[in-house]
Structure 1
Amino acid sequence: MRFIDSQREARARSRRLVAAFGLTVLLLVLAVNAALAVGWLLSGPLWLAGGWYFPRHFWAVNTGVTLLFVLGGWWLETSQLEHQGGVRLAERMGARAARPSGRLDEQRFVNIVDELSIASGLPRPTAMVVARDQAINAFATGWTPQDAVVAVTQGALDHLTREELQGLVAHELGHIGEGDTRLNLRLAGMVFGLEMVHRLGQRLAEPGEDGRRFMGALMGLCLMGVGWLGWVAGHALQAAVSRQREYLADARAVQWTRSRDGLGGVLRKVMTQQREGLPSRAVGPSLQHLLLVGNGHGALARRFDSHPPLAERVRRIYGRHMGPLPLPAQRTVGDPTVVHA
């Protein structure tokens, strides 16, 4: 794997996709103005003998309100996520602090976090474990490297060798080092802001207390349609950015561990788990991008998947297609073989 070239390519594509977010907001403002203009004309002025007209400051008010909802929604959502902090967000996803003093597998995990933090030059993140998830997975959270958390599932501790666990942790540290945890939270806030336009349209389209719909209902329906298109575009762009950051973190993991079989072995074992249908702890759609491997279900989750296909990630790591790896036999708590490489 030419990890330097891979990193350069992923960063360049990410910058273009983030710029597309700004373009999406601009197009949304134009579309809202057009939709409200059509709604206004159809609600009366189009049929009046006096000809077409728009209220004073019609365009400026529409633009201002749209930006208020989009940017205000973005600010509210990102402020809430930032206030939660890395540890609280990880706890929301079912993680608890690692317990190295009582479990050998968690001691190994904590040691690896310490080793790779030194190797990568990053502040040591808080090590946490999702103890009730038997699938192989991991995630990183935190607004800054000083606030960062790296969490792994119990399935990762049970089924991965030391080399593979190093690759897994290195991947998550790659996200932290590249600022992906902060970027992803900001993008999630922007998508929420785009959704606010759709919600505004819903409120305008609702009937009054007497069950009658007012003149603004038509304009509300127009806003709902435009807002829905903006929401879809935002989700698609967020997923596209996330996929590029996954490639970038994969390349970082190979660079820091100098091993393709570390992270490559993790992804190949995940292939086996998916083939066998091992259930994974459910995570909300807004947090799917934080995981090593997405576990969303349904047609919508597949269409807006924030992770590249496993087969493609493995191909990029090895330079050729590689099949799944068998999982080791389940080990019991306290089994000393849990620390073997």
Structure 2
Amino acid sequence: MKFWRHQDEARSATGRLLWGFALAVLLLVAAVHGGLVLAWLSLSWLLGGDWPFPAGFAAVNIGMTLFLVLGGWWVETDQLRAGGLRLAERIGAREVRTERNLAEQTFANVVQELSVAAQMRAPTAMVLPRTDAINAFAAGWDEDDAIVAVTQGALDHLNREELQGMVAHELSHLHEGDTRLKMQLAGMVYGLELVYQLGESMCERGGLMWWFGWVIKAAGFAGWLAGRWLKAAVSRQREYLADARAVQWTRSKDGLGGVLRKVMGQRQAAGYDVRGSQYALGHHAVQHMLLVDVQGSSHWAERLATHPALADRVQRIYGRPMPPLSL
């Protein structure tokens, strides 16, 4: 795997997508104001008058939209600032018990070793004990509250080399600030959604409120959808970057590659229920942080998926398609 080239490509694509996110917010502000201008002019024409715009019409429209977007972003990110340890505990994770469990001791050792290789402070090692699916996630606003959590399925089915690949991938997210970036983007998408919700509430009141509400609702929905798509696209690029960094740090394609191929095998196993086996990972706050996602395979789910397809990630690592591995 040409990990340096893949890292550069992922960083460049992320930069372009973040500029696109900023453009989407500006276009939303313009769409709300422009739509309300047209709605005002149309209403004036229908009622046979020549109504002047109210004082501060543009300032109110622009200010209201920015207030909702930035206010929603602040509220959502403030909730996420609770910390990685708290978030992990909320979905049922606990700290490793190295004195009782050899697999957990190995995992804790791998976290310490790779943290030294990455020249970063070791995050808290945690386990999701009742989750059979192979998965992991990293969380934390900064190094003081950073955690890396793996599922019981990862401890049961991965060898040490594969565990190193998994941990290296998650440490890359912390090292590159991906967890903070994803939290920020999630907050911004929530702010875009608030514009849609305002329009919807105005439509429900009827009368003249409906006339202006549907404009805000339509612009808000378009902005929210664009924000979701851009957030997912950024997340997919950060997954590519973390995959390349994991191969760089471990100098092994079979580490992370073996993990992803075993996930493919686990999901293809007869009678295996992916969603049912990792219910804890369905929490909205961690879905975008996982090693592999738990989304469905519908057309829209793929468009808005926060992770690339497993087969695509495996092919990037090995340079060719590879079959799943049995557990």
- Per the TM superposition, whether the score is higher than 0.5 is yes
**Gap regions ≥5 residues in structure 1:** 208-212, 328-341
Q: Quote the residue 1:155 is aligned against.
A: 153
| Structure 1, 243-252 or 220-229: larger mean CA deviation | 220-229
2:304 aligned partner, one-letter code: F
Structure 2 residue 35 is the aligned partner of structure 1 residue 38? no
SS of the residue 2:83 aligns to: helix
Q: Quote the residue 1:61 is aligned against.
A: 60
Partners of 1:120 and 1:268 in 2: CA distance: 25
Q: Quote the residue 2:303 is aligned against.
A: 303
Instruction: Tell me: CA distance 1:125–1:236, structure 2 relative to 1, closer, same or farther (3 Å).
Output: same
CA shift at 1:254, angstroms?
0.5
Partners of 1:49 and 1:31 in 2: CA distance: 26
Structure 2 residue 278 is the aligned partner of structure 1 residue 281? yes
Q: Quote the residue 2:80 is aligned against.
A: 81
Partners of 2:5 and 2:144 in 1: CA distance: 28
1:90-105 counterparts in 2 under 5 A? Answer: 90-105=88-103
CA shift at 1:96, angstroms?
1.2
Residue of 175, 178, 202 corresponding to 2:176: 178
Deviations 1:82-105 (A, max 9, x none): 1x1010111223211111111111
1:2 aligned partner, one-letter code: K
Structure 2 residue 229 is the aligned partner of structure 1 residue 236? yes
TM-score, L = length of structure 1: 0.91
> Does structure 1 conserve the Cα–Cα contact (< 8 Å) formed by 2:140 and 2:179?
yes
Partners of 1:4 and 1:302 in 2: CA distance: 27
Partners of 1:285 and 1:233 in 2: CA distance: 19
Q: Quote the residue 1:321 is aligned against.
A: 321
Structure 2 residue 264 is the aligned partner of structure 1 residue 271? yes
Q: Quote the residue 2:213 is aligned against.
A: 220
| Structure 1, 49-58 or 196-205: larger mean CA deviation | 49-58
CA shift at 1:52, angstroms?
5.2
| Structure 1, 221-230 or 295-304: larger mean CA deviation | 295-304
2:218 aligned partner, one-letter code: G
SS of the residue 2:125 aligns to: strand
Root mean square deviation, CA, Å: 1.4
Deviations 1:54-104 (A, max 9, x none): 21221111000000000110011111101x101011122321111111111
1:35 aligned partner, one-letter code: G
Instruction: Tell me: CA distance 1:297–1:93, structure 2 relative to 1, closer, same or farther (3 Å).
Output: farther
| Structure 1, 189-198 or 277-286: larger mean CA deviation | 277-286
Partners of 1:314 and 1:171 in 2: CA distance: 14
Partners of 1:293 and 1:217 in 2: CA distance: 42
**Gap regions ≥5 residues in structure 2:** none
Q: Quote the residue 2:167 is aligned against.
A: 169
